[in-house]
Structure 1
Amino acid sequence: MMKLQRGAAPDFLKENYKQWGKDYEQMRLANPSTRFNWRSYAGVPVDKQLKSSLNAITKNHCSYCDGFPLGTTSLETIDHFRPKSKYPCLAYVWHNLFLCCTVCQQAKRDTFDKKLLKPDVQAYQFHTYFTVNYSNGEIAANPAASSTDQDRANFTINVFGLNKPGRPESRFREYCLFQLAGKSVHIDDFSYRFFMI
């Protein structure tokens, strides 16, 4: 999970997020089984408009596993960090929206706990919480971190399924390709950038 620098929300979202969140919250109160559908703004679904802004933040990588490129190896989805089913008023809050792959989205589902690491928090740094095993591609909690930070790292690894079968192997293969490529390529052209630095 790379650290993300989140810019300001798009203007149309700043102007409408509170009302749209309240509207969705009211719909959920009236009927808890109401399915979420993105609102439209200027005739275009909001998620379609947000993807370009979120893409600029992640450089077309998943916000959580750093898989790349989204839309090719996985669908490009928008995750609600605090799930919209539990926090409907946050459904359109800019700092609650993350571009992610379908694998991370399906692993996380509606899970939320304050322990879950958020990649756009100012103090977040990958190596504070995690270590990488360059021989097999696995991610683990940093043994030098506090017990609280290790707990948060392990919780995050489990929620996003970061060490589920196939994922460590994929990171290891990408690391080998990066090593073979040398300085002729840019790190943003690879998945799992946190594994390369």
Structure 2
Amino acid sequence: MFAFERPACPDYLSGSWEELGLRYEAEKAENEAYKFQWTARFRYENTRQLLNEMTQGHCAFCDGGDLGAMSRETIEHFKPKSRAEFRRFAYQWENLYPCCDQCQSQKREDFDEQLLVADEIGYQFDDYFIVDYINGELQPNPLATDENQRRAQITLELYGLNIAIRLQCRKKELRRYRQRDRDEDVLDDFSYRYFLMDA
């Protein structure tokens, strides 16, 4: 997970997200089969673009790049909209993240209060994780506090950050990064920036 800063909520959403969320919560309470929809007031395309810019076009969780080209581009509800206690946050700016297919399909509707997100104030990769450049794995940092190690482990599990395809992709991206044109290519041009930072 590569740290990023979240910009302020866009005006069109700051004035409507709570009302939209409460409406969704009421609809689900009345009819459990009610299907969530992005409404016109949410301005899906504008919001998606702003979220993408926030992470320089990377998945907010695995940091895979080229969303929309390498992977279908989705908006992830960090606190799942399917769970009754979180339905009112379905349109909340701070609950929405650009996300790749793989991360979304791994996490599904799971959530844990200890789950990490990279725009959390003070988040730094090294406070939670270390990388193994031989096998491509992320591991909880053994020098981190017990709580930070626990949070790292939960995050690795819920987002499937160490499934086999992830390890292969990180090692492939590392080879590409080592062969880059140092005058032209910058870190943001690559996926898995947390894995490449100290390579």
TM-score, structure 2 as length reference:
0.94
Which residue, 55, 74, 81 being the options, matches 2:78? Answer: 81
Query: Tell me, what secondary structure is at the counterpart of 2:164?
Result: coil
Q: Distance in 2 between matches of 1:191 and 1:11?
A: 31
Deviation of the 1:10 alpha carbon: 1.2
Give runs of ≥4 in structure 1 deviating > 4 Å: none
Which structure 2 segments of 5+ residues have no match? none
Amino acid of the structure 1 residue aligned with 2:67: L
Amino acid of the structure 1 residue aligned with 2:171: F
Which residue of the partner structure matches residue 50 of structure 2?
Answer: 53
Query: Tell me, what secondary structure is at the counterpart of 1:131?
Result: strand
Which residue of the partner structure matches residue 6 of structure 1?
Answer: 6
The 5 A counterparts of 1:1-197 are 1-41=1-41, 46-86=43-83, 87-184=86-183, 185-197=185-197
Q: Distance in 1 between matches of 2:195 and 2:65?
A: 13
Identity %: 40
Q: Distance in 2 between matches of 1:140 and 1:34?
A: 40
- Asked whether the 8 Å contact 1:80–1:97 carries over to 2, the reply is yes
Q: Distance in 2 between matches of 1:83 and 1:21?
A: 12
Q: Distance in 1 between matches of 2:78 and 2:49?
A: 18
Q: Distance in 1 between matches of 2:181 and 2:147?
A: 37
Count of aligned pairs between the two proteins:
194
Deviation of the 1:46 alpha carbon: 2.8
Deviation of the 1:47 alpha carbon: 2.4
Amino acid of the structure 2 residue aligned with 1:79: E
Q: Distance in 1 between matches of 2:150 and 2:175?
A: 30
Deviation of the 1:182 alpha carbon: 4.5
